Amino acid sequence: MYFLDNYEKISIIICFAGVAKLADALGSGPNVRKDVGVQVPSPALKGEVLKTIDIRADFPCLKRERNGKPPIYFDNACMTLKPSYVIEKINEYYTQYPACGERSTHWFAKEVDNAVEESRFLLKELINAEDEEEIVFTKNTTEAINIVAHSFPWEKTDIILTTDHEHNSNFIPWYMLKKHGLIADYIPVASAADNTFNLDHFEDIVKKYKGKIRFVSLSHVSNLNGVYITDNEIKEIVKMVKNQHDDAYVMLDGAQSVPHKRVDVRGLGIDFIAFSIHKMMGPTGIGVLYGRKELLNKKLLPFIVGGGVVNNSFFNKDPVFFKAPYKFEAGLQNYAGMIGAGAASRYLMRIGVENIESHEMRLNKMLTDGLKKFDEVEILPPRDYHKRSGIVTFFIKKLATKHDDDDVDIDEKLNIRANIMIRKGSFCVHSWYNAYKKYWDNFFPGFRPILYRASLYGYNTEKEIDVFLDTMEGILKELDDLPSL
């Protein structure tokens, strides 16, 4: 998938420029598709790239200060920061050709169409899809999953499987199908004792309902605790699901995987994947649904209909819909978002998702090891950093995390004292939190802790981890007088 097109140029930047901005290396090269002028992305750069090139210089918001301190952004599972290269590509649409694509044939419109199709091509390259027409633009992962849920020709005997720690976006659509009687059942497959994916238990469920499981939709990487399903496990899932039903399909929620690790949709053998661009250094309000071309065209029906999806319409017979991807892209589109998605894909591929994954793992180990030194802190299982991505979710083993209602909580203290930004709550995985009451009761009957989540990305640093741990140590000392479990 990744071709060597501009590697020498980037290598020179690495060797001689040191902290040169990565965006400077994102220019055109010899390996260009002439129809849309798309440069085929380079392979992941070799070596300690994220230490050699100061990609932080590409992110304007990281240059800010408050109270003499820089921002420390550990909320990347929710939203990633945006590099100048992506911002400039978005602004290019608004300042150079802010027209309507797909419909008109004038100068500006053609530039819009070329830029959008370039983005579609880059996204295809990012996940190794076979064809650009397999890339459907959506608003986000949530909409992408809902398109499949509402467009698939369900039968009342169908059963859908997911994991038991799905984001609401990959839980509620399937639950509602069951509630309205469109399928026979929806089954969340229980995790292993250490909160990781349990392939053996999954296989037992498949055997129990052999011939009835029509669809499987799994969180590739959990936003709850960073647990991931390995490539080999996914391939095994695809094999066993398709062997038990000749019309069964597998989908991944890739919101937390595509921005952080190598995802090869053809290599995995999956039928669909959904992901959001705002989690991969791109603009908000834009996401992607990948589906195998024959499924998008022949299996899924149009979901939202009207302008943009219809080739012709009549008063007395059915409309003629466009083929995929356009039959799913109703109405005037978020062209700036689409173009920004392509820029984010190019930027991500230049850095190399493999490099981001290994960088996050190093930081995760450092953060995990540091938190384990605090007796009051419990990392949400699994505690082994190898079994998680760049996400560390933890809670405090105390009946309270502040002295009174006028005191602020731990996440707010981190923000106030050191500009550290994390997330607290249940992270849209309420169903898991509510189902695991026995787990919480093991600490103390009726114990229902606040969860805190630090999520990392390629621009985070070891120094930031140090600041986080030092600040946490000070906060925890102030809570010494509160009763511990």
Q: 400 vs 30, which has greater pLDDT?
A: 400
User: Rounded to whole angstroms, what are the CA distances from 431 to 70, 141, 143, 171, 199?
Assistant: 36, 19, 20, 9, 21
70 vs 87: CA distance, rounded Å:
21
Helix (H/G/I), strand (E/B), else coil: 91: helix
Within 8 A by CB and 6+ apart from 421, the residues are: 71, 72, 73, 74, 75, 414, 415
What the block records as the tokens of 112 is 């819009």
The residue among 305, 311, 345, 336 whose CA lies nearest residue 147 is: 305
Residue 431 lies in a domain: yes
Q: For 69, how many CA atoms within 13 A lie in the half-sphere containing its CB? A: 16
In this structure, the answer to whether residues 362 and 390 fall within a common structural domain is: yes
- How many separate domains does the chain show? 2
In this structure, the answer to whether residues 189 and 230 fall within a common structural domain is: yes
Q: Among residues 61, 78, 100, 428, which one is catalytic? A: 428
What the block records as the tokens of 280 is 């991969």
187 vs 159: CA distance, rounded Å:
7
Average pLDDT over residues 46-60: 65
8 vs 70: CA distance, rounded Å:
34
The answer on pLDDT for 7 being more than 80 is: no
Residue 214 lies in a domain: yes
User: Residue 14's pLDDT is what?
Assistant: 29
439 vs 481: CA distance, rounded Å:
25
293 vs 103: CA distance, rounded Å:
23
Percentage of the chain with pLDDT > 70? 89
User: Residue 1's pLDDT is what?
Assistant: 34
Percentage of the chain with pLDDT > 90? 84
Q: For 242, how many CA atoms within 13 A lie in the half-sphere containing its CB? A: 12
pTM for the structure as a whole: 0.89
Amino acid identity for residue 392 in this structure: V
Are 256 and 279 in contact by the 8 Å Cβ rule? The answer is yes
User: Residue 437's pLDDT is what?
Assistant: 86
**Number of H-type helices and E-type strands within the chain:** 16, 17
Using DSSP bridges, classify how beta strands 213-219 and 249-253 pair: parallel, antiparallel or unpaired. parallel
Among this protein's residues, is 428 annotated catalytic?
A: yes
Residue 321 lies in a domain: yes
Q: 27 vs 210, which has greater pLDDT?
A: 210
> Domain range spanning residue 216?
117-349
The answer on pLDDT for 47 being more than 80 is: no
Domain containing 177 — which CATH number? 3.40.640.10
- Using a 10 angstrom Cβ sphere, with 0-12 exposed, 13-18 middle and 19 or more buried, the burial of residue 460 is buried
Model confidence pLDDT, tens digit, residues 305-346: 999 999 999 999 999 999 999 999 999 999 999 999 999 999
Domain-terminating residue out of 349, 379, 396: 349
The answer on pLDDT for 15 being more than 60 is: no
User: Rounded to whole angstroms, what are the CA distances from 262 to 76, 208, 293, 452?
Assistant: 18, 33, 21, 27
In this structure, the answer to whether residues 370 and 463 fall within a common structural domain is: yes
Residue 314 lies in a domain: yes
Residue 26 — pLDDT band, cuts 50, 70, 90? low
Residue 316 lies in a domain: yes
Domain-terminating residue out of 316, 349, 382: 349
Domain-terminating residue out of 330, 349, 368: 349
Residue 342 lies in a domain: yes
Domain containing 461 — which CATH number? 3.90.1150.10
Q: For 118, how many CA atoms within 13 A lie in the half-sphere containing its CB? A: 27
Model confidence pLDDT, tens digit, residues 243-267: 999 999 999 999 999 999 999 999 9
In this structure, the answer to whether residues 441 and 373 fall within a common structural domain is: yes
User: Rounded to whole angstroms, what are the CA distances from 357 to 14, 258, 263, 390?
Assistant: 20, 11, 12, 8
Which run of H or of E encompasses 179?
Answer: helix 172-179
